C-alpha cells in the first residue's frame, strides 16, 4: 500500500445548493511546487462509478484520490429544486432488479417509493389515441398482433446477446451491421408499430433508432434482463423513485470519502510508467500505482494519454457518442390529471416533449410532472431559448391534459446536451459496426489504466445500478493488483 494521501488540504463540499467550486479552490501553484499528491489509486470522475470504486478500494485498505472535473459530485445525477421539493435533474428511477443501487440506498437510509401508476396511461401513435392500463401500449387494434411479434423478436435477440461480451454471439456481425431503424423496416410493416418502437428507443436511449446498432440495442436489453424490463413502470426500470432524490446517495458517498475527493480538477493528462501513473489537472498532479477512469468514452477521449492509447481503445472512444436529452420538471397547484383518472404517463408521436410521468410528492401537496426531450427533439430544442422550450412543453402537455396544463407554478429544466462537462445522456450509444470491431476494448485495462462507468457495466448498462456495478468491478480488478 502506498503512502496514505487521503487527506489533502481541501474538502469536498457536499450540501445541496452550496457553491462547491469556491469551497474546493486550492493553492494550485504551491501544491505543484510540493510535488504530486499520492494515493494508491487515482479515480477520475465522481459519478456513481467513481465514488463506488473509491469506496470499495478504501474499504479494502487502499488509499484513493478522486478527481472530478465538475464543481459537484454525481455526474449524470444532479439535484434541482422546484416547488420546495428536491428533484433529480438526471438519473431518477430504480427498478427491482437494480439490486446494487437498492442496496446502496438501504445502507444509506434513503427510502424509495413506487412511481405513481394509478389510472390510465395515454397513448397517441399514428393517429390513434387511447387510454389504457398496464404496461403494453394500446396501439390501434390492427397493429397489436404485429407489435407483440416485434417485441417477441427483440426479446429473442436480447436473450441471445450474451453479456458482458455481446460481440461474441453467433450472428453478432450481421446484427451489428444494422441500425435499429433498418432492422425495424425489415421486421415491421405497420406504421404504428414502427412509430411506437422509434419512440421507445428515444425514451430508453435518448437517441434515434437510425443512430444505434441493433446488436447494441439487444445487448442493452439483455443487460437489463429483457426489453420489457427496460420499458416497464411496475416491475421495470421506472418502478420507483427515491425520497429526496437519488443524487443524495452520491453526496453521501462523497461525504464519507471526505477530502479524498477534489472538485474542479479535470484530469488533463494521464502518464504511466513502470512504477505508476501521474494524473495532471489544473490543480496539480496526483501520483498513484493505478488509475480508474470512469468518464464516459467521449469525455475520456479528451484526456491526453502517454503513452498513447492502443488503437482499439482510442477508436472505441471516438465511436460511442452520448445521446441527446433535456429533462424537464413542471409543478402545478394540484395533480389535476389524476382527477381525470390518468396516471400522468403520456407517449405520443405528435409532440416534441415526451414521454412524461407523474412526479407529484407523496403527500399530494401539489402536482408535478417530469419528462424529456429525447434524441432528435432534444437536438432540435437544445439551442432554443428556455422560454421557447417552456412554451412548447406546456402546449404538448395541454394537448392531452387540457388548458390547466398551461398554468404551472414552477418549471425547471436541465439541458444535458449543452452541459460541456457531460455532453449529453443518458448513455453512450454505439452505432453500427462499433461493438463487433471495438467492443473488446470497453473494459480491457491499458497498462495501469482501468475503465469503469455505466457504459462498461455487465448488467444495467446505462443506469446508475450499472455504474455502481462497474465501479465495484474496477475496484476488484485494481485491488487484486495492489
Ligand atoms: C436526464 C437523465 C436521466 C436519467 N435517468 C435515469 C434513471 O431514471 N435511472 C437510472 O438508473 N439512470 C438514469 N440515467 C443514467 C444515469 O444517470 C447514468 O447511467 C449514471 O449516473 C452514470 O454514472 P457514471 O459514474 O458511470 O458516469 P457519470 O455520472 O457521467 O460520471 C462521470 C464523471 O466523470 C467526470 N469527468 C469527466 N471527464 C473528466 C475528467 N477528464 N477529469 C475528471 N472528471 C471527469 C464527469 O464530470 C462526471 O462527474 C439518466 C441520465 C440522464 C442524463
Atom of ligand 1 nearest to the CA of 372: 1
Give the Cα separation of 55 and 317 in Å (integer).
Answer: 26
Q: Summarize pLDDT for 449-464 with one digit per residue, the tens.
A: 999 999 999 999 999 9
Among 52, 75, 325, 420, the mutation site with the greatest number of ligand 1 atoms within 8 A of its Cβ is 75
Q: Summarize pLDDT for 67-82 with one digit per residue, the tens.
A: 999 999 999 999 999 9
Q: Summarize pLDDT for 255-278 with one digit per residue, the tens.
A: 999 999 999 999 999 999 999 999
Class (C level, CATH) for 141-231: mainly alpha
Give the Cα separation of 367 and 139 in Å (integer).
Answer: 28
pLDDT in the model for residue 315: 97
Residue 278: strand, helix, or coil: strand
Atom of ligand 1 nearest to the CA of 67: 43
- Residue 338 Cα, ligand 1 centroid: separation in angstroms? 32
**266 CB less than 6 Å from ligand 1?**
yes
CATH architecture under which domain 79-96+111-117+238-243+322-418 falls: Alpha-Beta Complex (3.90)
Main-chain dihedrals φ then ψ at residue 264, nearest 5 degrees: 60, 30
pLDDT in the model for residue 6: 39
Q: Summarize pLDDT for 422-450 with one digit per residue, the tens.
A: 999 999 999 999 999 999 999 999 999 99
Residue identifier of the C-alpha nearest atom 13 of ligand 1: 91
**303 CB less than 6 Å from ligand 1?**
yes
**69 CB less than 6 Å from ligand 1?**
yes
Which H or E element spans position 230? helix 227-231
CATH architecture under which domain 20-75+247-309+446-479 falls: 3-Layer(bba) Sandwich (3.50)
Query: DSSP assignment of 43-85, as one string?
Result: EE--SHHHHHHHHHHHHTT--EEEE-SSSSS-TT--EEEETTE
pLDDT in the model for residue 68: 98
**116 CB less than 6 Å from ligand 1?**
no
pLDDT in the model for residue 33: 55
Q: Would you say residue 101 has pLDDT above 50?
A: yes
Q: Summarize pLDDT for 329-362 with one digit per residue, the tens.
A: 999 999 999 999 999 999 999 999 999 999 999 9
How do the domains of the chain map onto residue ranges?
Answer: 20-75+247-309+446-479, 79-96+111-117+238-243+322-418, 141-231
- Global pTM value: 0.94
Give the Cα separation of 21 and 23 in Å (integer).
Answer: 6
Among 426, 460, 473, the mutation site with the greatest number of ligand 1 atoms within 8 A of its Cβ is 426
**330 CB less than 6 Å from ligand 1?**
no
- DSSP letter at 315 equals H
Average confidence score pLDDT of the chain: 93
- Residue 77 Cα, ligand 1 centroid: separation in angstroms? 6
Amino acid at each position: 500500500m502506498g503512502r496514505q494521501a487521503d487527506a489533502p488540504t481541501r474538502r469536498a463540499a457536499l450540501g445541496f445548493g452550496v457553491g462547491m467550486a469556491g469551497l474546493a479552490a486550492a493553492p494550485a501553484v504551491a501544491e505543484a511546487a510540493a510535488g504530486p499528491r499520492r494515493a494508491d489509486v487515482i479515480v477520475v470522475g465522481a459519478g456513481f462509478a467513481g465514488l463506488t470504486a473509491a469506496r470499495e478500494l478504501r474499504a479494502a485498505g487502499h488509499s484513493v484520490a478522486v478527481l472530478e472535473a465538475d464543481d459537484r459530485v454525481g455526474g449524470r445525477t444532479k439535484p434541482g429544486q422546484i416547488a420546495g421539493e428536491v428533484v433529480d435533474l438526471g438519473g431518477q428511477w430504480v427498478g427491482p432488479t437494480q439490486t446494487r443501487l437498492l442496496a446502496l440506498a438501504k445502507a444509506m437510509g434513503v427510502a424509495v417509493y413506487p412511481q405513481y401508476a394509478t389510472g390510465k396511461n395515454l397513448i397517441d401513435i399514428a393517429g390513434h389515441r387511447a387510454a389504457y392500463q398496464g404496461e403494453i401500449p394500446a396501439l390501434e387494434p390492427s397493429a397489436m398482433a404485429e407489435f407483440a411479434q416485434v417485441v417477441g423478436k427483440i426479446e429473442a435477440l436480447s436473450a441471445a446477446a450474451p453479456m458482458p461480451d455481446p460481440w461474441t454471439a453467433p450472428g453478432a456481425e450481421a446484427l451489428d451491421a444494422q441500425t435499429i431503424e433498418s432492422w425495424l423496416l425489415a421486421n415491421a410493416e405497420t406504421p404504428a408499430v414502427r412509430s411506437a418502437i422509434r419512440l421507445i428507443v428515444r425514451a430508453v436511449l435518448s437517441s434515434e433508432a437510425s443512430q444505434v446498432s441493433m446488436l447494441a440495442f439487444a445487448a442493452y436489453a439483455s443487460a437489463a434482463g429483457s426489453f420489457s424490463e427496460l420499458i416497464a413502470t411496475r416491475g421495470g426500470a421506472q418502478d420507483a423513485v427515491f425520497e429526496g432524490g437519488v443524487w443524495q446517495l452520491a453526496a453521501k458517498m462523497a461525504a464519507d470519502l471526505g477530502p479524498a475527493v477534489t472538485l474542479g480538477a479535470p484530469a488533463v493528462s494521464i502518464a504511466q510508467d513502470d512504477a505508476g501513473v501521474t494524473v495532471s489537472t489544473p490543480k496539480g498532479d496526483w501520483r498513484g500505482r493505478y488509475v480508474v477512469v470512469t468518464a464516459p468514452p467521449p469525455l475520456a477521449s479528451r484526456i491526453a494519454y502517454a503513452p498513447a492509447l492502443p488503437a482499439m481503445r482510442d477508436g472505441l472512444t471516438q465511436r460511442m457518442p452520448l445521446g441527446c436529452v433535456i429533462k424537464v420538471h413542471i409543478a402545478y397547484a394540484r395533480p389535476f390529471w389524476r382527477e381525470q383518472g390518468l396516471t400522468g404517463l403520456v407517449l405520443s408521436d405528435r409532440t416534441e416533449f415526451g414521454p412524461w410521468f407523474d412526479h407529484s410528492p407523496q403527500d399530494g401537496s401539489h402536482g408535478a410532472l417530469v419528462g424529456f426531450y429525447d434524441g432528435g427533439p432534444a437536438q432540435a430544442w437544445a439551442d432554443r431559448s428556455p422560454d421557447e422550450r417552456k412554451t412548447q412543453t406546456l402546449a404538448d402537455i395541454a394537448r392531452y391534459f387540457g388548458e390547466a396544463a398551461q398554468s404551472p407554478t414552477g418549471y425547471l429544466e436541465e439541458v444535458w446536451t449543452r452541459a460541456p462537462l457531460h455532453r449529453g445522456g443518458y448513455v453512450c450509444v454505439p452505432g453500427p459496426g462499433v461493438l463487433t470491431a471495438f467492443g473488446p476494448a470497453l473494459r480491457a485495462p491499458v497498462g495501469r489504466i482501468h475503465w469503469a462507468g455505466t457504459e462498461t457495466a455487465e448488467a444495467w448498462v446505462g443506469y446508475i445500478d450499472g455504474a455502481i456495478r462497474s465501479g465495484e468491478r474496477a475496484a476488484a480488478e485494481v485491488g487484486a493488483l495492489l
